[in-house]
Amino acid sequence: MNKTLLLASAAFLVSGMAMAQAPGEENKDTPAPKKVCSQVPFEGMDMTWQNGADRRDSSVLQGKYFTPCIMVDANATYSFANPNDHTVVGSTALARNNEMEVSAANIGGDFYYNGARGRIMTQFGTRTTLIPRNDLSVYRGQYQLDNVYRYISEAYAGYHFNALHGINIDGGMFMSYVGLNSYYQQENWEYQASFTSDNTPWFFNGIRCQIFPSNTVKVELWLINGWQSYGMFNNMPGVGGNFTWCPKENIKLLTNDYFGSDAAGLPGRKRFHSDNSFLFRYYNHPKGKGITRAAFTLTGDIGFEQGDGVNGFNSDATKGPAQYFTSVMFYNRIWFAKNKLAWCVGGGWMTNPGRYLVLAPTGDASPLPNPANPTQTLGTHPFTENPGDNFTGWDCSTNLSWMPNQNFEFRIEYVHREANVPYFAGAGGVTSPTGYTTSPLTTGWAPDLVKTEDRVIMALLFRL
């Protein structure tokens, strides 16, 4: 192992060895009845303002042993490119242009009894195909893991130990929240996530240990199958870590770090990734007649892959081209009218030489293996993801939200995104000349990928 990889591994170990779960789940990660644990992590702190957190202050359905949860995420998005196949490219939140769609319908909840705990959340809607398509581990072996887990967003079982301010040990499938944003749009300030969030994991399969040493600190340890993967790419599991600190109610700092081997069939290629966020609520006047609160979030990521043909941050004639990931995103949100209205503006930037974390385009531009023949790709004109292929993108967005209560939100959002290479769906779409999968591909036809996109999103978000 060379010097660069050793230094990165050392930094990973120091930073805390724990992958983050949802920033909004700190209170939820302990059993709901306080009699189980007399000390509740982050007790007394208002976290409803945080990006990536549950904005409710309580659940109307909370029970002694089970608290159910129901969520619906429906949207209509208009693309100014107006692609003929209505396919959205480069998003994990949107699937169809110029149509109404149900992105996610989730039903489940949390169970707890005498320290035993469990959570299950089912998922239906377009996200059941948007998310698994980026997990290539399902092509290793049998049993169609993408279909086995497709309709589950979270499922884990574990035990709570009444020590310190709480210790939880769980096994199953969890949310990752590298990139700050929540998998559930009901918890995010923006609907279309910036490149930082959209190109980092939404879920992990494995074992986690959550430790709350004080009322303001959480440390989390992970042993997982891999980077947003149902299965394991090689024979080495991924390890990760989170350290979250809330010194005050209006400040939150967290770091998430990961180390693993996630290139299928290339066990010598190692990945390191560090994700870091700062959240600050700089104004809070809940009884005000105008602005009631204001906050911002700043997130920065850095990582690389090294070995088996790629060489981290520096290209080398013998070791291979550089393959790394750097990104940043910033959002500011202002609430009005007793927190029933909100305005958010922000955006981000990402560069990813080698494209190893770029969300692959859909349709006939897809470079993903064909399930019927994994030696072939699904598309006839795949978007390349070779070592040395560069990808740089930036985005900005602004939205207005109306929240008559803590269970419902209507949001209208404008988004602009750009890339240094053709990436987004143009007027010709990415499926076929007519836009239908039943149409033959004529000679000379290719997916219509363009470097920019503009869209308007209207979303209806419900949570109970």
DSSP string, 335-352: EETTTTEEEEEEEEEEE-
Cα dihedral value 149, 150, 153, 157, nearest 10:
-10
User: Which residue shows structure tokens 């064909």?
Assistant: 370
pLDDT for 138 = 87
Least confident of 15-24, 158-167, 218-227, 232-241: 15-24
Least confident of 8-12, 13-17, 350-354, 446-450: 13-17
Instruction: Give per-residue pLDDT as tens, 309-327.
Output: 999 999 999 999 999 999 9
Banded pLDDT at 26 (limits 50, 70, 90): very low
> No. of H helices and E strands in the chain?
4, 21
Q: Please give the residue that has the higher pLDDT: either 376 or 120.
A: 120
Asked if pLDDT for residue 397 goes beyond 70, the answer is yes
Banded pLDDT at 10 (limits 50, 70, 90): very low
pLDDT for 373 = 61
pLDDT for 370 = 65
pLDDT for 297 = 98
pLDDT for 7 = 45
Asked if pLDDT for residue 22 goes beyond 60, the answer is no
Phi, psi of 12 (to 5 degrees): -60, -45
Q: Please give the residue that has the higher pLDDT: either 47 or 16.
A: 47
Asked if pLDDT for residue 210 goes beyond 70, the answer is yes
Topology classification of domain 3-463: Porin (2.40.160)
Q: Please check whether residue 205 is in contact with residue 172, taking contact to mean a CB–CB distance below 8 angstroms.
A: yes
Instruction: Using alpha carbons, list the distances in angstroms from residue 4 to 1, 237, 263, 319, 454.
Output: 8, 21, 19, 13, 39
| One-letter amino acid for residue 201 of the chain | P
Cα 189 to Cα 411: distance, rounded to the nearest angstrom: 10
Cα 352 to Cα 385: distance, rounded to the nearest angstrom: 10
Banded pLDDT at 30 (limits 50, 70, 90): very low
pLDDT for 450 = 97
What integer best gives the mean pLDDT of the chain?
89
H helix intervals, 139-212: 145-148, 195-198
| One-letter amino acid for residue 50 of the chain | Q
Tokens of 227: 């980077």
Tokens of 7: 């230094």
Asked if pLDDT for residue 390 goes beyond 60, the answer is yes
Asked if pLDDT for residue 364 goes beyond 70, the answer is yes
Cα 456 to Cα 449: distance, rounded to the nearest angstrom: 19
DSSP string, 237-302: -EEEEEEEEEEETTEEEEEEEEEE--STT-TT-EEEEEEEEEEEEEEE-TT-SSEEEEEEEEEEEE
Tokens of 143: 């049993």
Instruction: Give per-residue pLDDT as tens, 279-297.
Output: 999 999 988 889 999 999 9
Cα 156 to Cα 331: distance, rounded to the nearest angstrom: 32
Instruction: Give per-residue pLDDT as tens, 63-111.
Output: 999 999 999 999 999 999 999 999 999 999 999 999 999 999 999 999 9
pLDDT for 33 = 43
pTM: 0.88
Tokens of 335: 């609430």
Q: Please check whether residue 305 is in contact with residue 269, taking contact to mean a CB–CB distance below 8 angstroms.
A: yes
- In percent, the amount of the chain with pLDDT more than 70 equals 90
Q: Where are the beta strands (DSSP E) in 128-250?
A: 152-161, 167-175, 203-214, 217-224, 238-248
Q: DSSP 3-state assignment of 423?
A: coil
